[in-house]
Amino acid sequence: MKTLLPKEFKPGSRDLKTAPTRAKKIFSTLLKTHPDARIALNFNSPLELFVATVLSAQCTDVRVNIVTKDLFRKYRKAADYAKVQQEELEQDIRSTGFFRNKAKNIKAACADIIEKFDGDVPDNLDDLTSLAGVGRKTANVILGNAYGVPGIACDTHVIRLSRLMGLSENTDPVKLEFALMELIPKKNWVMFSHLLIFHGRQVCVARRPNCDNCSVRSHCCYGKLTK
């Protein structure tokens, strides 16, 4: 019998003690469940991934991919974004929402990429997070998917599933990132993010997780409560 809604569930101390063992089982099981898990944003360069990730805030990846299909033909280099008029870029990305702030950040970041990094998107966390609009999550997305540098991108799915699965009680993305780094081998950090995002979109959906058809239910603290 279901006793708790997903938003009401909090892992207990007993759940957290078993987290290291369960995390390994969850990873291996999800890897079999979602063998094609990967980033959903389309890109062909670190710059394109940077722009797409900025646009993805409060917007679906499907919509972003529609917008960037034409955007990436128009803007090839960081200089193209830096020199375009703010209003023109706003119109080009308008349908992604929050377009004024996104355009402002993209232009400012690309100006810094030109001035400080010779036109190349940085390949390390400190330099990336110095750019406008880039926090740790965005930086980890770029590092992991464009440069192959291990990192855990804590988006809303990763935060929500980590709590439901009893891997961490942290809802702060930075604290959660460091907590998960202790549970998952470094070589698996990027894929672990992909797996949780895939699972969160397809099975463990926000309003009503499909626990009856969840491959990791036996390792999930919330899933066990719903039996």
Chain position carrying tokens 């003690």: 17
Q: Active-site residue among 10, 104, 155, 187?
A: 155
Is-catalytic flag, 118? no
Fold of 6-37+151-225: Endonuclease Iii, domain 2 (1.10.1670)
Mean pLDDT of the region 210-219: 96
Cα distances (Å, whole numbers) of residue 123 to 36, 46, 75, 150, 180: 25, 9, 21, 11, 22
pLDDT in tens, 69-124: 999 999 999 999 999 999 999 999 999 999 999 999 999 999 999 999 999 999 99
Q: Give me the catalytic one of 137, 175, 186, 227.
A: 137
pTM score of the predicted model: 0.93
Q: 3 pLDDT exceeds 70?
A: no
**CATH class, 46-146 region:** mainly alpha
What amino acid occupies position 176?
L
Domain ranges for the chain: 6-37+151-225, 46-146
Whether 46-146 and 6-37+151-225 are alike in CATH topology: the answer is no
Q: What percent of the chain has pLDDT over 70?
A: 99
Residue 127 among the catalytic residues: no
